[in-house]
Chains A and B, each alone.
Chain A
Amino acid sequence: MARYIATRIVYMAITLFIIASVTFFLMKLMPGTPLSSADRLSESQQQIVLEQYGLDKPVPLQYVDYMLGLVQGNLGISFQFDNREVTEILGNRIGPSLQLGIQALFIGSILGALLGLVAAIFHNGILDFGSTLLAVIGTSIPSFIFAGLLQYFLGVQWQLFPVATWGTFAHTIMPTIALLIFPMAICARFMRTEMLEVLNKDYITTARAKGVGWTAVIFKHGLRNALIPLITILGPLAVSLLTGTLVIEQIFAVPGIGEQFVTAVTTNDYPMIMGTTLFFSFLFVLIILIIDILYGIIDPRIRLDGGK
């Protein structure tokens, strides 16, 4: 297992290196420069600024500089905020985004799995219908609509939670709910299908033929097998949350990375864009790794292939 993880980490590093390179050159192709809106500076003043940030050097050299910095954990200095390190800005912003993302993914997938399980157990019954309806609503209506509804009802009308901004745990509840509806709906639909499929498998008949009761069959033999495919979709779901936070953070005025990213793009703040992209990519690759490890824990067929 340890060796398996070590190899995976090496692959992760290679993936990140490629992503960093591609983003770097793509960014150079973006129209405008960080000084596009700084008309008031004279040519020579602009030249000084560019030199200061190393933007006067040829692109390949800039690339080498950047990558060397990256290896040392240095993401450069932001253009928009006077001389603040990108890592520091990200560090300040990471907390709220991460908290929202993790809460939404965790609660969403567990609720979704339960919902799907109930639907499968009461297959074709009223509970199945209800949970399917919920899942359809959750996947077809975008999260910002839920955000608006939550703000209006829970926030303004009933005043249960603060409408926006950040601070206490209560502040996280509404954005978390808005975010988790999509992963919950997807997990519910997935779980229902998987569970129904698993319950038709031969080994379920074997278990029943042993005299295992229906409920025990579902939980002892069905659940684990139905969860395996569910774990594979957690990765893509986590990624969808990364982008989901961009919108939700704006609506609830959450001081997270998403909000920062939008400003960085509109102002051509190269180091900030690079930093955020790399950070998102890092999260993404990390999520995939975690999911692979989870997969190995739950599915013995995978666990043993990579040695102990």
Chain B
Amino acid sequence: MSNETILDVKNLSVSFKTPNGEVQAVRDVSFSVGKGETLAIVGESGSGKSVTTKALMGLLPAPKGYIKNGNILYGNEDFAKLSDKQMTKYRGKDFAMIFQDPMTSLNPTMKVGTQVMEGLRMHRGMNKEEAKKEAVRLLELVRIPDAEARMNQYPHQFSGGMRQRVVIAIALACDPKVLIADEPTTALDVTIQAQILDIMKDIQEEFETSIIFITHDLGVVANVADRVAVMYAGKIVEIGSVDELFYNPKHPYTWGLLGSMPTVDQREEELFAIPGTPPDLLHPPKGDAFAPRNRYALKIDYEEQPPMFQVSDTHYAATWLLHENSPDVQPPASVQQRIDEMNGKWEAGK
């Protein structure tokens, strides 16, 4: 992995206009992705992971969803400023996307081959023959057996795992620089999951693709990611390398996530659950959005948003606990134990 930054997101805010007012789904999010690097984004449902990636792709549902503020810097362009039409040039070519549900993400009335060929003909100017050949090669690349015959079939003739491979083949068609995968394995069973992750890893090695990988599964994160961003209520609350986040988590929300991660040999009551529910993004709280669910919350948490405190060169967390005047708080024992266990296992598996 080189240090070359390929995508730089700065102070991105995304909102939705709804009948009840403005839903602030993403609030002032900044991160960057290096060449050939995998950044995982984790966080509970509704924290703004998908909205962030849709904003990157310029696929927010217009005119309801819009980029309120911020920059999405790629090369010399700021995607946040481009029109839908200008974005079509980059979509599928520089940025490609893999979606969560392979059962619904392919057009049911179009041959699979045609769907793979579409991007090739558009972005790479291939004629029908060339595109056909290349599509077969792509289907083989994602390990679809009998690819040539499969070209003429329709999505309903494919299993879920096979469809997800097709979706990946479509995404890879034009050698994208950035591949965004929004929970690409959530809808698949465990063995298929592993195969899909394998394919993605191989491809990344071969083409130095940068990957933004959204998942709920911290096990998958440990497996595929170089860096992790933890999102809560539309904000990144902690970001750092996988090691830093797993060994030395700083934000109480990250503690909660690690603590609630199921392990193989555990009884259900041991699961550490984060109490309460996320805030209403129609009226985000003034202070730290996590404060009401945070047993270590300080008074200031209710009044002022914590800034990103630097833990190391690569590790930042937005919690007042890192302020020099804050009391020294360590993760709860149960969570610490879980972290140790996990690290042990993970180390062993390395």
Contacts and interface: CB of A to CB of B under 8 A. Distances in A.
Contacts of B122: 210-212
Interface stretch (B102-110, B199-207, B224-232, B293-301): B102-110
B167 A206 contact: yes
B106 A203 contact: yes
A212 B58 CA distance: 13
Contact of A221 (B104, B110, B123): B110
A202 B108 contact: no
Contacts of B91: 208-211
Contacts of A220: 110
Given A205-B59, A300-B154, A210 B92 contact: yes
Contacts of B93: 211
Nearest to A207: B107
Nearest to A224: B109
A182 to B, nearest CB: 28
A301 interface: yes
Nearest to A305: B156
Interface in A192-218: 201-203, 205-214
Contacts of A224: 109-110
Interface residues of B, number: 32
A174 to B, nearest CB: 38
B286 interface: no
A209 B98 CA distance: 9
A206 B88 CA distance: 13
A110 interface: no
A16 interface: no
Contacts of A304: 154, 157
A221 B114 CA distance: 11
Contact of B104 (A203, A210, A228, A300): A203
Nearest to B97: A209
B133 interface: no
Interface of B: 57, 59, 84-85, 88-93, 96-97, 99, 101, 104-110, 118-119, 122-123, 154, 156-157, 167, 170-171, 173
The 10 A-B pairs of least Cβ separation, nearest first, read A211-B92, A210-B92, A211-B91, A202-B104, A300-B154, A209-B97, A203-B107, A202-B105, A210-B119, A224-B109
21 contacts: A202-B101, A203-B104, A205-B59, A206-B105, A206-B106, A206-B107, A209-B96, A210-B96, A210-B118, A210-B173, A211-B91, A212-B92, A213-B85, A224-B109, A225-B109, A298-B109, A300-B108, A300-B109, A301-B108, A301-B156, A304-B157
